[in-house]
């Protein structure tokens, strides 16, 4: 480096430097009587050096200079473990080191020779638990890189000084601190969901209970340690719930509340250890006051906090967001009017108890919703115009009657299904058999106030609609035929104390063989099987509702059913001395247990014959003459044309026969006065093989199980109204199809999904169809029940009236419901005396409501229903 003044060339100056040798290894040239001076040489020391030059020529001038000599190489210290990984493209970032944690420092130089440089290293100062290591294959005397690594064993801050020297004598030095933090372990909380949207519409509409729509939150608490792991003892608290919202740990145990809004979720201290560093728990939120904690969509939002408090006082908090809302479903009432006075046709009601009683209504509505909803129907009657029947409703009815000084009203809850367009449903308000119906008897025909209420706590939506009540005459059941190989089922009725200890046949397994032998012997038919269905109670709703039992029999796959009842129980419903009966042509027969045991065969056979529509012909007692006309098999009559009636025993195949219960088998005899028709009665135990079963047998002899079938069930009223009952699929059934060769004024038509006619069945509905069987008493309804063939592409079923107008139509859903049994498992053996909780799952792709019955069948085909 050269230094000169601003004087013109040729001036000689005298120079001085302070200090004389400012940079180690560098020196000035001659400094006396020269125009300029030179500082040159080889630097021997890195650093920044400041010096002052003074030049003298008559006068003196001074200047200060700074020279920086960079080192030949530098030492670089880098922490490579532990580090935090950052975003891609960014280098890792060193993080704190804790006791017991492995750490590693990489120390190298920026020597010009790079990895080929041979560096001698000297390290002074140490960190407990860490050691110095050269690169593999080198020593500390020649390694281009060294490492300081190990498990830090003691907290503190330690200084380390590193000196590096290459073979040329160039040296570098670096001093740096290493801080070791004390180790710690704390609990941390995580949720299965951070944001929860809770729709409680089903709770608001009382479709489901609070327990059914509870919201379950999963919580995970895990031990978060830095350094040496240790046990963490903690408590877990839930806080921040609004009033009206409650937390339970599970369905059985409530967590102990610390106060009104704080819950101890683990009910005490829990410990996270090396063996169990994670604990999972869940709790359920229950809504006790829906309209306090929720609101119309989008609802109310809450921030709920869960905190873990360790034994040493550390608190970790985490929050999740809870939004609670409900929706209101638009309900439009289009029409409500009575269609007849009939009671619910699913229930048997004596004729004299239903005459003049209004019980069935047509209800048209629109409901836009995602779910069915419960509503209340209230019919209000003025006491000035209406009289209440003498009997009082019993507890357990589906409806109730409330009286005020000036009026009374009938109120019933029922379920409305969603609609895509106008929809009609039927409301049945009567369910009785032996007591007076609780309906008003009109003095005239006044208007009636009908009110539908959707009731919510704190809110009320009311839609009122006036309706004029119309009363018509009563009607009852009419029997329907069944032909084919016979499958029989039976029920056992409990005694008043709810047990079956008084029955002679306490084990239903032994019933089928006895009954099957007798029926097959006395009647020329094939009894394919006899199965136990289930126990029934003695209450009206359970045991004496033969229409409901009939439906269960159909669902169980049997043609006829027998209910064996406790001794004298029939007297309560059918009169003194009755040992067997059939209500209204139902396919279910009732038999007293003593008669089932002592005279089991003829009494059961007699009642089963009733289920096929054949009347009593008690010997020597007249019965309506129309049976003589319609039942030509009765060969011995007094006067078939007489209005007085006819009596006698039938003539069957030219001989008379009876079943010998002692010797067994069908015995033929020639004297008709010694035997009696199965529908008659006598002092001895010899009974006829009834001609009705011969009629059935002739059809059965050439009958095989048809393909899958469908039971079509309709109720036709005189006023033209038609109620559609559930249509039931039959698999491997023993019921015949309706004839396609018959003639009639009504036509049942089956259409494919593309509108093609698959089958047409003609039905003849006349005035006789509306009479109670065996009498001249007229009703205003009749059943249309029959089995039609099932087609996989069946799309619609229509009933066409005499005028060619479609009177009823039902569309077949596209998808078949799917049912899977989840418990018991397949091939699982059920043990006597144990309690099992059955579980199944059903779904329907069309969104149709599903109804289930449960049958349990043994390997020997005996079965029962739940």
Q: Cα(267)–Cα(256) distance, rounded to whole angstroms?
A: 6
Mean residue pLDDT of the chain comes to 71
Question: Which whole number is the average pLDDT over 493-510?
Answer: 53
The pLDDT score that the predictor gives to residue 459 is 42
For residue 309, is pLDDT > 70? yes
Q: What count of other Cβ atoms lies within 10 Å of the Cβ of residue 365?
A: 20
Residues 6+ apart with CB under 8 A from 113: 166
**How open is the CA angle 258-264-268, to the nearest 5 degrees?**
105
Parallel/antiparallel/unpaired status of strands 486-493 and 527-536: parallel
State residue 350's pLDDT score.
34
Which among 269, 251, 277, 247 is positioned nearest to 259, based on CA atoms? 247
Least confident range of 82-96, 169-183, 297-311, 410-424: 410-424
The pLDDT of 393-413, averaged and rounded, is 58
Q: What is the band of 553 on the pLDDT scale with cuts at 50, 70, 90?
A: confident
The pLDDT, as a whole number, for residue 77 is 94
The whole-number pLDDT of residue 76 equals 92
Look at 440 and 821; give whichever has higher pLDDT: 821
Is 60 exceeded by the pLDDT of residue 844?
yes
pLDDT of 509 above 50: no
Hey, which bits of 373-422 come out as E strands? 373-382, 386-388, 399-403, 407-416
Highest-pLDDT range among 251-260, 739-748, 809-818 = 809-818
Query: pLDDT band at 384, cuts 50/70/90?
Result: low
Query: Could you tell me which residues are beta bridge partners of residue 732?
Result: none
Please say if the pLDDT value at position 248 is more than 70: yes
Alpha-carbon distances of 207 from 202, 210, 424, 719, rounded to whole Å: 5, 10, 21, 35
89-98, 128-137, 354-363, 368-377: lowest mean pLDDT where?
Answer: 354-363
Helix (H) or strand (E) holding 290: helix 290-293
**Beta-carbon contacts of residue 301 (< 8 Å; ≥ 6 apart):** 321, 322, 323
Looking at the chain, the whole-number percentage of residues with pLDDT higher than 90 is 16
* pLDDT higher than 50, residue 479: no
Q: What is the pLDDT of residue 661?
A: 32
Highest mean pLDDT among 162-166, 284-288, 682-686: 162-166
Q: Is the Cβ–Cβ distance between 527 and 482 less than 8 Å?
A: no
pTM over 0.85: no
User: What phi and psi values does residue 19 have, to the nearest 5 degrees?
Assistant: -75, 170
Distances (CA, A) of 764 to 14, 493, 761: 146, 38, 10
In the structure, what pLDDT confidence band is assigned to residue 152 with cuts at 50, 70 and 90?
very high
558 within 8 A of 584, measured Cβ to Cβ? no
CB-based contact 788:748 (threshold 8 Å) = yes
CA distances from 565 to 150, 497, 546, 547, 572 (A): 88, 13, 13, 17, 11
Two structure tokens written together for 33: 């009587």
- Residue 593 is classified by DSSP as H
Is the per-residue pLDDT at 687 higher than 50?
no
Summarize the confidence of residues 262-269 as an average pLDDT.
Answer: 83
Q: With 50 as the cut, is the pLDDT of residue 482 above it?
A: no
Least confident range from 531-535, 541-545, 628-632, 741-745: namely 628-632
CA distance 232 to 272: 5
Segment 81-101 mean pLDDT: 85
What pLDDT is attached to residue 290?
83
**Cβ within 8 Å of residue 547, ≥6 positions away:** 345, 346, 347, 348, 477, 586
**Cβ–Cβ under 8 Å, residues 757 and 583:** no
pLDDT band at 655 (very low <50, low <70, confident <90, very high): very low
């Amino acid at each position: 480096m050269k230094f000169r003044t601003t004087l013109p060339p040729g001036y000689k100056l005298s120079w001085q430097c302070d200090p004389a040798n400012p940079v180690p290894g560098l020196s000035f040239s001659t400094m006396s009587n020269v125009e300029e001076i030179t500082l040159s040489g080889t630097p021997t020391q890195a650093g920044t050096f400041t010096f002052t030059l003074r030049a003298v020529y008559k006068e003196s001038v001074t200047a200060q200079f700074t020279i920086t000599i960079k080192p030949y190489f530098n030492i670089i210290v880098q922490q490579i473990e532990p580090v935090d990984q950052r975003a891609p493209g960014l280098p890792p970032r060193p993080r704190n080191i804790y006791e017991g944690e492995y750490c590693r420092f990489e120390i190298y130089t920026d020597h010009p020779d790079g990895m080929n440089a041979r560096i001698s290293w000297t390290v002074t100062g140490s960190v407990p638990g860490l050691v110095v290591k050269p690169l593999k294959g080198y020593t500390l005397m020649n390694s281009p890189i060294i490492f300081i690594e190990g498990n830090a064993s003691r907290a503190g801050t330690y200084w380390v000084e590193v000196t590096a020297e290459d073979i040329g004598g160039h040296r570098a030095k670096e001093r740096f601190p290493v801080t070791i933090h004390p180790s710690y372990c704390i609990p941390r909380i995580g949720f299965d969901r951070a944001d929860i949207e809770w729709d409680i519409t089903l709770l608001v509409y009382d479709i489901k209970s609070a327990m059914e729509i509870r919201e379950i939150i999963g919580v995970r608490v895990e031990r978060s340690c830095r350094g040496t792991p240790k046990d963490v003892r903690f408590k877990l608290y839930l806080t921040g719930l609004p009033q009206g919202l409650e937390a339970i740990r599970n369905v059985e145990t409530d967590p102990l509340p610390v106060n009104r809004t704080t819950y101890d979720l683990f009910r005490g201290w829990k410990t996270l250890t090396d063996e169990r560093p994670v604990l999972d728990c869940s709790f359920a939120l229950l809504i006790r006051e829906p309209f306090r904690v929720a609101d119309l969509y989008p609802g109310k939002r809450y921030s709920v906090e869960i905190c873990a408090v360790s034994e040493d006082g550390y608190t970790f908090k985490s929050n999740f967001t809870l939004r609670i809302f409900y929706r209101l479903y638009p309900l439009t009432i289009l029409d409500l009017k009575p269609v007849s006075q009939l009671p619910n046709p699913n229930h048997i009601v004596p004729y004299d108890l239903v005459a003049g009683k209004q019980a069935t209504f047509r209800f048209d509505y629109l409901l836009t919703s995602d779910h069915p909803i419960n509503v209340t129907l209230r019919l209000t009657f003025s006491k000035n115009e209406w009289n209440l029947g003498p009997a009082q409703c019993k507890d357990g009815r589906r409806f109730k009657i409330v009286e005020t000084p000036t009026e009374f009203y009938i109120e019933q809850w029922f379920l409305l299904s969603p609609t895509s367009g106008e929809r009609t449903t039927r409301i049945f308000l009567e369910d009785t058999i032996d007591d007076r119906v609780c309906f008003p008897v009109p003095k005239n025909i006044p208007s009636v106030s009908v009110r539908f209420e959707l009731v919510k706590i704190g809110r009320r939506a009311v839609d009122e609609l006036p309706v004029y009540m119309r009363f018509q005459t009563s009607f009852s059941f009419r029997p329907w035929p069944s032909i084919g190989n016979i499958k029989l089922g039976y029920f056992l009725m409990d005694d008043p104390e709810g047990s079956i200890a008084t029955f002679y046949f306490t084990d239903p397994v032994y019933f089928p063989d006895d009954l099957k032998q007798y029926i097959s012997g006395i009647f020329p038919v094939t009894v394919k099987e006899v199965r136990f269905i289930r126990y029934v109670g003695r209450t009206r709703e359970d045991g004496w509702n033969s229409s409901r039992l009939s439906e269960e029999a159909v669902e169980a796959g049997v043609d006829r059913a027998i209910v064996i009842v406790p001794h004298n129980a029939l007297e309560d419903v059918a009169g003194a001395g009755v040992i067997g009966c059939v209500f209204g042509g139902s396919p279910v027969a009732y038999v007293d247990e003593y008669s089932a045991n002592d005279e089991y065969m003829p009494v059961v056979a007699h009642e089963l014959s009733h289920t096929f529509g054949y009347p009593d012909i008690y010997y020597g007692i007249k019965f309506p003459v129309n049976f003589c006309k319609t039942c030509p098999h009765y060969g011995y009559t007094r006067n078939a044309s007489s209005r007085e009636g006819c009596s006698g025993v039938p003539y069957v195949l030219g001989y008379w026969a009876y079943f010998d219960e002692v010797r067994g088998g069908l015995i033929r005899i020639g004297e008709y006065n010694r035997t009696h028709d199965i529908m008659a009665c006598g002092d001895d135990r010899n009974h006829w093989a009834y001609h009705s079963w011969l009629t059935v047998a002739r059809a059965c002899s050439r009958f095989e199980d048809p393909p899958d079938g469908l039971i079509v069930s309709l109720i036709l009223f005189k006023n033209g109204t038609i109620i559609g009952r559930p249509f039931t699929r039959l698999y491997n059934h023993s019921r015949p199809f309706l004839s396609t060769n018959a003639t009639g004024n009504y036509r049942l038509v089956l259409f494919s999904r593309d509108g093609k006619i698959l089958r047409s069945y003609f039905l003849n509905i006349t005035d006789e169809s509306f009479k109670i069987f065996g009498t001249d008493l007229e009703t205003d309804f009749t059943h249309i029940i029959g089995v039609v063939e099932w087609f996989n592409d069946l799309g619609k079923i229509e009933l066409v009236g005499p005028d060619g107008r479609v009177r009823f139509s039902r569309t077949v859903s596209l998808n078949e419901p799917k049912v899977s049994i989840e418990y018991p498992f397949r091939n699982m053996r059920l043990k006597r005396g144990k309690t099992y909780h059955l579980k199944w799952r059903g779904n329907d792709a069309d969104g149709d409501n599903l109804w289930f019955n449960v049958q349990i069948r043994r390997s020997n085909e005996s079965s029962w229903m739940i």
